[in-house]
């Protein structure tokens, strides 16, 4: 089992280049199933979740050629509609193949993803919304067995709750539905806009008619296209926090500041100096860090995927803070580990109370989920001495070459087998 050894504390200085977005790549990879021939994708991040999704597509019959900076997906003989448990269990985003398989083949058997440490992660909104498009489904032995005997029929659907995955599954499914589908109360994360750009470039007809309403006019097929995935705003935000935390100065490239506005505002309020330009953000940390009361919310609110990282920064503030986690029911798993480094954070339900004025002590730590894991790396960067982070396969699911990128800007960090 690999682990990371981090020797803190030192200021990070230099430039970090952001990789492609995990959460844009997954729905776009799933959407390539709509194609009956070739799609080329560029800028996919080299991370475990993408490898898993590619393996899943290959198990469905896609032929995938991996080149240095792109993949070529050939679906000429893609005919399978069965996504097995042993693949889906390792990556929940696999449920995103349900919509495209139903759109293309009018049937699918996909393992239900099950929960994960941060929450039950139900898919009821996905399934109930698909049934409004004419899909019949049942859950049998952990599999969603779905058919659309008369094909998918466009209709009006209002999501009962804002869901990124359900919005993505339904937009993709509706691309081949007969007639027009209107989806209301959609999630509008930048990764969803990237998916819509991909679909429209491929010949679909998806238009935003108001802030959270999208109208899709069904088409019969999609064209061969070559598409570059957007960059990863959560990876960018993570390294912005690293600069503020270590009182260093980092230039984060390949990030459009307008898609990370809320996090920029919060970091400025906390005390970081932030200079933005068209495609990069320069963050300089300051000694004095101010506590804040913040809450996570669907985009454009504070990203829940940034909550753990910002919590580490607030531990160093010279007054107390609170964080309200509004998206997932169990997304404070990093608290116990941070407390082993001296953080003294307490939680009650979805509230975390951070006293501040903390000097992290190094420790041997256990990663639990992707974003919790990276918060331990951040804390270890500012703890004087050697910390060890175990179970870093969680990290490798979502961060490309994290130790290489950090080492390049002065972190003393190494991966140990
Ligand atoms: C996506 O998960 C992201 N994953 C998550 O990123 C991210 O944290 C989340 O959106 C919120 O922004 C990918 O894009 C692959 P949701 P998703 O459906 O789609 C409830 C990371 O670290 N819900 O928006 O699963 C759900 O339980 C990951 O990169 C239902 O009740 O999130 C949650 O409380 C972690 N029924 C809330 O909605 C449903 O059918 C938001 O979930 C679906 C969701």
Q: Mean of the per-residue pLDDT values for the chain? A: 96
Residue 105 has pLDDT above 90, yes or no: yes
Contacts (Cβ under 8 Å, ≥6 apart) of 404: none
Pocket-testing residue among 164, 305, 306, ligand 1, by greatest number of atoms within 8 A of Cβ? 164
- The average pLDDT across 205-225 equals 97
pLDDT band at 1 (very low <50, low <70, confident <90, very high): confident
Residue 214: pLDDT band (50, 70, 90) is very high
Residue appearing with tokens 């399978």? 80
CA 199 to centroid of ligand 1, rounded, Å: 21
What's the pLDDT band for 118 if we cut at 50, 70, 90?
confident
> What domains does the chain contain, in order, with CATH numbers?
3-19+231-416 (3.65.10.10), 22-228 (3.65.10.10)
Structural element, H or E, at residue 197 = helix 190-201
DSSP state of 230: P
Whether 116 is catalytic is yes
What residue has token string 């609110």? 301
CA distance linking residue 175 with residue 206, whole number of Å? 8
Phi, then psi, of 122 in degrees rounded to 5: -65, 165
For residues 43 and 25, give the distance between their C-alpha atoms in angstroms, rounded to a whole number. 9
The confidence score (pLDDT) of residue 387 equals 98
Q: What is the pLDDT of residues 17-30, one digit of tens each?
A: 999 999 999 999 99
pLDDT digits (tens, 9 = 90+) for 337-392: 999 999 999 999 999 999 999 999 999 999 888 999 999 999 999 999 999 999 99
Relative to the CA of 127, which ligand 1 atom is closest? 40
Question: Angle at Cα 168 formed by Cα 207 and Cα 71, nearest 5°?
Answer: 100
What's the confidence (pLDDT) of residue 121? Answer: 80
Helices (H), 4-111: 22-31, 48-59, 85-88, 98-105
**For residue 123, which atom of ligand 1 is closest to its CA?**
40
* Ligand 1 center–CA 163 separation, angstroms: 6
Measured between alpha carbons, how far is residue 99 from residues 37, 173, 264 in Å? 18, 4, 34
- Band (91; pLDDT cuts 50, 70, 90): confident
| Confidence label for 190 from pLDDT (cuts 50, 70 and 90) | very high
Q: What are the tens digits of pLDDT across the range 140-158?
A: 999 999 999 899 999 999 9
User: Percentage of the chain surpassing pLDDT 70?
Assistant: 100
pLDDT at 120 over 90: no
* Helices and strands (H and E) in the chain: how many: 14, 24
Residues in the chain, how many? 417
328 lines ligand 1 (CB under 6 A): yes
Strand residue runs (E) in 235-345: 249-253, 273-276, 280-284, 293-295, 321-324
Counting Cα atoms < 13 Å in the Cβ hemisphere of 340 gives 15
Rounded Cα gap, residues 392 and 3, in angstroms: 6
Tell me the mean pLDDT in the region 395-414.
96
Tokens of 193: 């806009």
The pLDDT-based confidence of 134 (bands split at 50, 70, 90) is very high
Average pLDDT on 327-336 reads 93
Q: Is the pLDDT of residue 115 over 80?
A: no
Say how far apart CA 198 and CA 229 lie, in whole Å.
9
Residue among 28, 161, 263, 397 to mutate when testing ligand 1 (max atoms within 8 A of CB): 161
Nearest CA to ligand 1 atom 28: 305
Q: How confident is the model at residue 254 (pLDDT cuts 50, 70, 90)?
A: very high
Question: Tell me, what's the pLDDT at 321?
Answer: 98
What is the 329 CA–ligand 1 centroid distance (Å)? 11
The string over 32-62, giving b where at least 16 C-beta atoms fall within 10 Å of a residue's C-beta and e elsewhere, is: bbbbeebbbbebbbebbbbbbbbebbeebeb
Q: Is residue 166 within 6 Å of ligand 1 at its C-beta?
A: yes
CB-ligand 1 contact for 369 (6 Å cutoff):
no
Contacts made by residues 336-339, CB under 8 angstroms, sequence distance 24+: 337/363, 337/365, 337/366, 337/368, 337/372, 337/376, 338/311, 338/312, 338/375, 338/376, 338/379
């Amino acid at each position: 089992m690999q682990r990371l050894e981090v020797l803190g504390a030192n200021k990070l200085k230099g430039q970090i280049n952001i990789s492609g977005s995990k959460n844009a790549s997954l729905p776009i990879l799933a959407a390539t199933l709509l194609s009956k021939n070739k799609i080329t994708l560029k800028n996919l991040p080299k991370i475990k979740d993408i490898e898993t999704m590619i393996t899943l597509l290959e198990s469905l019959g896609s032929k995938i050629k991996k080149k240095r900076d792109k993949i070529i997906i050939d679906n000429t003989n893609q005919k399978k509609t069965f996504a097995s448990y042993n693949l889906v269990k390792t990556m929940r985003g696999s449920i995103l193949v349900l919509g495209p398989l139903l759109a293309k083949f009018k049937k699918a058997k996909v393992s239900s993803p099950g929960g994960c440490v941060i929450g039950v992660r139900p898919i009821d909104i996905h399934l109930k919304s698909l049934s409004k498009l004419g899909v019949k489904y049942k859950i049998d032995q952990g599999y969603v067995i779905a058919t659309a005997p008369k094909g998918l029929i466009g209709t009006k659907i209002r999501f009962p709750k804002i869901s990124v995955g359900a919005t993505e599954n339904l937009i993709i499914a509706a691309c081949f539905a007969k007639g027009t589908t209107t989806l209301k109360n959609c999630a509008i994360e930048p990764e969803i806009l990237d998916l819509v750009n991909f679909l429209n470039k491929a010949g679909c007809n998806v238009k935003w008619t108001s802030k959270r309403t999208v109208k899709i006019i069904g088409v019969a097929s999609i064209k061969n296209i070559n598409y570059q995935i957007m960059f990863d705003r959560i990876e960018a935000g993570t390294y912005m926090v690293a600069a503020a935390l270590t009182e260093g100065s980092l230039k984060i490239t390949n990030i459009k500041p307008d898609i990370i506005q809320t996090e920029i505002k919060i970091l400025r309020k906390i005390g970081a100096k932030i200079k933005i330009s068209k495609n990069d953000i320069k963050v300089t940390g300051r000694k004095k860090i101010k506590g804040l009361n913040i809450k996570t919310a669907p985009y454009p609110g504070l990203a829940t995927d940034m909550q753990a990282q910002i919590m580490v920064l607030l531990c160093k503030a010279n007054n107390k803070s609170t964080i309200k986690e509004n998206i997932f029911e169990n997304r404070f798993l990093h608290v116990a580990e941070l407390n082993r480094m001296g953080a003294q954070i307490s939680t009650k339900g979805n509230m975390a109370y951070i006293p501040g004025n903390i000097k992290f002590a190094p420790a041997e730590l256990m990663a639990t989920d992707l974003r919790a894991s990276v918060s331990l790396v951040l804390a270890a960067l500012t703890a004087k001495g050697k910390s060890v982070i175990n179970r870093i396969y969680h990290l490798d699911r979502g961060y490309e070459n994290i130790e290489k990128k950090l080492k390049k800007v002065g972190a003393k960090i190494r991966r140990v087998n």
